[in-house]
Amino acid sequence: MNKQILTRMGDGERLWMAASDIKGDIDNGTADAADRGGIPEISDEEKEHLFNIIAEPSRIVGVSPGEEVIVSDDGCSMSFYSGQDGGGVGIPLSRQQAILTYERACGADSTSMGHSDYSYKPVKPIINFETGEYYNTSMVTTAPLFYGAQPNLGLYSQPDGPCPNPGELLPLGKIAEARESQEQAAEYLRDDLVFIGKRLADVGLEGLNFDTCGSAGDADFLAALQAVADLKKAVPDLPILMGASGEFILGMHGEVTFDGKRLAGLYPHDQAKVVQSAGADIFGLAINTSTSESVAWNLARAVTFLKAASNISDIPIHANVGMGVCGIPMMEQPPIDAVTRVSKALVQIGKADGL
């Protein structure tokens, strides 16, 4: 008899799937990751383990005692006071109250604060407000307190920023101009990241998070890597978490390099290497979720990429498990059955050091 298993699609739709179909999706998912990344598939034993995690009948699943990992976040406490577009529940709390609630009521392993826009560029003109609030909050928190935001190179292009917009230049065939513009923007971004990092470091910053690096492509990722290296030189004891925006660095420029390595097209195991060589302390890995494939397919891909990166990296790797990442369905209220299965598989098979 082909047992039916209650599971999800990548868009969160709940459905019954035959055990053989889930096993087939696991085979195809890991094969897809292996083919794209030039990395090994997970073993037959790991495929069976993944199937068993997905097929567990309980709504919520978990790792065994002793296997727990820590959780870092990208502005999670903002979800207490923000609205739907920030994944928030709209409670009227201050930033500091939200951080303390997250730390003490939710038992957070680490906490973070950031500007509501969650990009670094808007932080620069209000840096005194941010350093003041960071300092005040760090005096009352017990868990590690990061300051985090996205590099977000796109904000440096016209009309939001000073540089000609590569999105307009590229369709006109102005490749050299588009590249030049991205290089200029990356320099502005690097300067801002270093400026903000140093100012926060002056008030006892415990950890800095460059989150969603590469969202505007390889020049975006480059600026973050350079800023990590600059900050590690200027403030050697400053812990830095650098997280990626996706499984593949988009070659919007195509030719930028870091330490002689071309960034365009790097998959997570190679991203981990350059992040480590820049000097970051933790790498945040992100794998895209396909909404039209099952959680089994998506999760098989995620653990395959993660395992390859974990095996190669000397620094801890935190797998991103936000909406639509690393096998989590792409929806604003990720279902707990999928979230816990993804978390368990990323830890037990992908060997994540944190989530």
Number of residues that bind other proteins (CB under 8 A): 36
* C-alpha atoms less than 13 angstroms from C-alpha of 261 in its C-beta half-sphere: 20
**HEC-encoded secondary structure of 122-147:** HHHHHHHHHHHHHHHHHCCCCCCEEE
Closest CB 24 distance from other proteins, rounded Å: 32
Pairing of strands 145-149, 111-113: parallel
Q: Which positions from 242 through 301 interact with other proteins, judged by CB under 8 A?
A: 281-282
Give the relative orientation of helices 175-202 and 218-234 as an angle to the nearest 10 degrees.
30
Closest CB 165 distance from other proteins, rounded Å: 37
Question: Considering only 33-41, 199-207, 223-231, 250-258, which stretch makes contact with other proteins by CB under 8 A?
Answer: 199-207
Could you say which of 140, 175, 234, 336 contacts other proteins (CB under 8 A)? 140
CA 289 to chain centre: 13
Cβ nearer to other proteins, comparing 101 with 165: 101
Per-residue contact flags (x/-) with other proteins for residues 66 to 85, judged by CB under 8 A: x-xxx-x-------------
Q: Give yes or no for residue 343 binding other proteins (CB under 8 A).
A: no
Closest CB 66 distance from other proteins, rounded Å: 5
Pairing of strands 257-258, 317-319: unpaired
Kindly state the tokens that stand for 92.
Answer: 């009227």
Could you say which of 31, 127, 203, 331 contacts other proteins (CB under 8 A)? 203
Contacts for 9 with CB less than 8 Å, ≥ 6 apart = 15, 291, 292, 293, 294, 295, 329
Could you say which of 117, 204, 257, 265 contacts other proteins (CB under 8 A)? 204
Cβ nearer to other proteins, comparing 5 with 352: 352
Closest CB 348 distance from other proteins, rounded Å: 12
Cβ nearer to other proteins, comparing 17 with 317: 317
Could you say which of 86, 122, 144, 254 contacts other proteins (CB under 8 A)? 144
Closest CB 13 distance from other proteins, rounded Å: 33
Kindly state the tokens that stand for 335.
Answer: 């279902």
Per-residue contact flags (x/-) with other proteins for residues 213 to 242, judged by CB under 8 A: ------------------------xxx-x-
Q: Give yes or no for residue 308 binding other proteins (CB under 8 A).
A: no
DSSP 140-170: T--S-EEEEEB--GGGGBTTTSSB--HHHHG
Per-residue contact flags (x/-) with other proteins for residues 4 to 43, judged by CB under 8 A: ----------------------------------------
Closest CB 158 distance from other proteins, rounded Å: 38
- Exposed (0-12), middle (13-18) or buried (19+): which is 113, by Cβ within 10 Å? buried
H-helix segments, the chain:
19-37, 44-55, 78-81, 95-104, 127-138, 166-169, 175-202, 218-234, 268-278, 295-312, 336-348
Q: Give yes or no for residue 207 binding other proteins (CB under 8 A).
A: yes
Could you say which of 54, 143, 155, 278 contacts other proteins (CB under 8 A)? 143
Report the candidate in 29, 34, 3 with the shortest Cα–Cα distance to residue 308: 34
Q: Give yes or no for residue 104 binding other proteins (CB under 8 A).
A: yes
Give the relative orientation of helices 44-55 and 295-312 as an angle to the nearest 10 degrees.
130
- Compute the residue count for the chain: 355
Residue pair 234/253 in contact (Cβ under 8 Å)? The answer is: no
Closest CB 208 distance from other proteins, rounded Å: 10
Q: What is the CA radius of gyration of the chain?
A: 20
Q: Give yes or no for residue 171 binding other proteins (CB under 8 A).
A: no
Binding residues for other proteins, rule: CB under 8 A, are: 65-66, 68-70, 72, 104, 107, 109-110, 138-145, 201, 203-207, 237-239, 241, 281-282, 314-316, 352-354
